[in-house]
Amino acid sequence: MSDTSKVFQKFTVKDIVFLAIISAVALVTAAVMAIVSHIYIFGLAQLVTALQFSLFPAVALCKVRKPGTLMFFALFTGLFELFMAPVMFVSSLLTGLILEALVLAIFRGYQSDKAVFFASMLFIPMTLPFNVIYYRLFSKEMFDLFFANGFQILAVVFVVSSVAVAALGAFLGIKISKELTKAGVLK
């Protein structure tokens, strides 16, 4: 049985280094979130990071098409997010776990571009419910800030927009990966 026909494959050091680098690039390009971090409208942070956190996971998944790839991405980005806000770490890890399980159940891995699109497009939007639960349980003040003063409609707009931007980012990530593979840069 060849390695590509197995569902679970071993990660090489090269795979893990690539995933660490791509995670770092995603984090650096998402630094724009610092600009909006003090605007307390639910979904705004996800909207401004949706492109980066769908495009770079798509590139990672196109290069390393192994179950667990998204979990490594979530872990590497989550470790840095932990220092900014624990909710980001928790929501990234839970989202990574759930998406890995869904991809295995639906697609049996990341061999198809549909699986890559599915996982990378949903990475940021799926953090939103965890954020609501986290703030409701552990930070009533933040929950009230997010959903007070008529911001509910803006929150809905930002959530829907983050899904649309994430879909665009996932699409572009797959497209860029194919071009890089054709050029021999992404092997």
Band of pLDDT at residue 2, cut at 50, 70 and 90? very low
pTM of the entire predicted model: 0.88
Q: What is the pLDDT of residue 154?
A: 82
Cα separation, 103 vs 48, in Å, equals 25
CATH code 1.10.1760 for 3-182: yes
Average pLDDT taken over every residue of the chain: 88
DSSP 78-139: HHHHHHH-HHHHHHHHHHHHHHHHHHHHHHSSS-SHHHHHHHHHHTTTTHHHHHHHHHHHH-
Q: What is the pLDDT of residue 5?
A: 53
Residue 140 has pLDDT above 50, yes or no: yes
- pLDDT tens digits, one per residue of 75-125: 999 888 888 778 888 889 999 999 999 999 999 999 999 999 999 999 999
Cα separation, 113 vs 118, in Å, equals 8
Cα separation, 176 vs 157, in Å, equals 28
